[in-house]
Structure 1
C-alpha cells in the first residue's frame, strides 16, 4: 500500500510538472505573436503578475500582461526579444519568488534583473523601467507552499539587493512588499487564500501602491 501511495504521488507530481511546462510553452508562444507597441505598458513576471487582469484593474487598454505562472528570472531573460522589439513605453517587473523557492541565491536573481535592465537600456532605451519588490509570503496561517514560506527571510534580502541595484542604475524601485505585509512580517491574510497568491483585495492594494507610476 505504501509503495502504491508513493507511486501515485510521483505520478501526480510528474503530471503537474508536465502541465506547467505545457502552460509555459503556450504562453510564451502566444506572447511571441501578440504585438507590443511603443505606447504599451507591460507587466512582466511570474504567476503573481499572470494572475491579474491589469488592463481592467487600471481601466487602461494600453496595459499588457506578460506574466507566466511558475516563471524564473533566468527563464524570463529568454523571452525578452519580442518585448524589446516593440519598445514599450513602460515596463513593470516582478520576479524572483519561484527562484528562491527552487534554491536560487538572491544575488543570482539580482544579476538576472541587472541583465534585463542592461538589455532594455541598450536596445529599447526609451522604455521606462520599474522594478517591483518580491511580495511577502505567509506560512503562519497557511500550509500549501512550504518551499515558498521557508524563503521569507531571503525575500527580504533579495528586495534589499534589488533596491540597491536600482539605486546604482538609477531605476525606479517600487516597494510593493511594504503595502502587503502585516505586523508579523507575513503576507496579510486578508489578501490571500494560500499564503502566496493574491485575492482581489490584494491586487487592489498592489494597484494603489504603483498607481502614480502607471499613470
Structure 2
C-alpha cells in the first residue's frame, strides 16, 4: 500500500512538472534561440561540409527568411546562415561560428535593421560594422565583403532618416576599402517619388514577401557575377 501511495506521488509530481518544463521550452530566450540555430548550422555543416568559394549570406531575419535563396541563384553556390533577431554586434560576437568556418568567395552582410529598431545610434552601428569588417578581413583576406543596405519598411518609416544615414556612412566607408561592395536594395524598393511599395512587405510591415525578395534578387545577382 505504501509503495502504491509513493508511486502515485511520483506520478503526480511528474504530471505537474512536465507541463512546466514544456512551457519553459516554449518561452526560450532570444539567446537560447540563437544557440539552437547555431547548433543546427553546425550539424548541417558536419553532414554536408560547404564547398570552397561559396557566396555566404549572414545577418538578421531578412536573410534567414530568404528561403528561396538557392533557387533564386541556381547557377551559384550560395549558403544562408542568417539568424533572426541579430544586430551588428551579435554578428560580430558569433563571427567565429557564422563566418570563420567557411571559405567564402563573397560575404553578404545584412545587419542594422534591428539595431535601428532597438534604438542604437548611428555612430555606434557604423563603428560596430567597421569593427566587424576589420575582423572579417583578418580571417578572410581574399573574400569580398558586401553590405546589403538596410531596407526601407513600413515599421521603420519613423526611422527613415537614420536608415538613410547608416546606409550612406557605410557606403562611404566601403568605397574607401578594397575588395568590398555595397548592394543598394534601399532605392529599388521605393517608387520614383520615394514612396514605399506595400506588396513588398508582409503584414508585420518589416519582413519581405516574394515580391520584395524579387527586388533583392535583381540587386544581388549583379554581385554574384563577380
Whether TM exceeds 0.5 here: the answer is yes
| Match for residue 188 of structure 1 among 184, 197, 202 | 197
What's the counterpart of residue 91 of structure 1?
Answer: 107
Work out whether residues 191 and 200 of structure 1, in 8 Å CA contact, stay in contact via their aligned partners in 2: yes
The alpha carbon displacement at 1:135 in A equals: 0.1
C-alpha separation in 2, matches of 1:135 and 1:45? 13
How many residue pairs align between the two structures? 194
C-alpha separation in 2, matches of 1:91 and 1:125? 11
Write the deviation string for residues 155-188 of structure 1: whole angstroms up to 9, x where unpaired: 0111011111111223211111011123454431
Change (3 A) 1:40 1:160: same
Write the deviation string for residues 73-131 of structure 1: whole angstroms up to 9, x where unpaired: 10111111142242211111111010111111122111122122112221111111111
Q: Does 1:109 align with 2:117?
A: no
What's the counterpart of residue 58 of structure 1?
Answer: 73
| Match for residue 27 of structure 1 among 37, 40, 56 | 37
Work out whether residues 110 and 165 of structure 1, in 8 Å CA contact, stay in contact via their aligned partners in 2: no
After TM superposition, the structure 1 = structure 2 runs for residues 124-135 of structure 1, keeping only pairs within 5 Å, are 124-135=140-151
Work out whether residues 106 and 145 of structure 2, in 8 Å CA contact, stay in contact via their aligned partners in 1: yes
Q: Does 1:156 align with 2:164?
A: yes
The alpha carbon displacement at 1:18 in A equals: 3.3
| Match for residue 42 of structure 1 among 38, 51, 56 | 56
C-alpha separation in 2, matches of 1:46 and 1:23? 13
Instruction: Give structure 2 stretches of 5+ with no counterpart.
Output: 1-23
Spell out structure 1 runs of 4+ moving beyond 4 A: 14-17
Q: Secondary structure at the match of 2:28?
A: helix
What's the counterpart of residue 69 of structure 1?
Answer: 84
Instruction: Give structure 1 stretches of 5+ with no counterpart.
Output: 1-13, 139-144
What's the counterpart of residue 5 of structure 1?
Answer: none
What's the counterpart of residue 81 of structure 1?
Answer: 96
Work out whether residues 153 and 201 of structure 2, in 8 Å CA contact, stay in contact via their aligned partners in 1: no
What's the counterpart of residue 8 of structure 2?
Answer: none
Aligned CA-pair RMSD: 2.3
What's the counterpart of residue 10 of structure 2?
Answer: none
TM (norm. structure 2) is 0.78
| Match for residue 198 of structure 1 among 208, 212, 218 | 208
Change (3 A) 1:18 1:85: closer
Work out whether residues 136 and 185 of structure 1, in 8 Å CA contact, stay in contact via their aligned partners in 2: no
Change (3 A) 1:31 1:15: closer
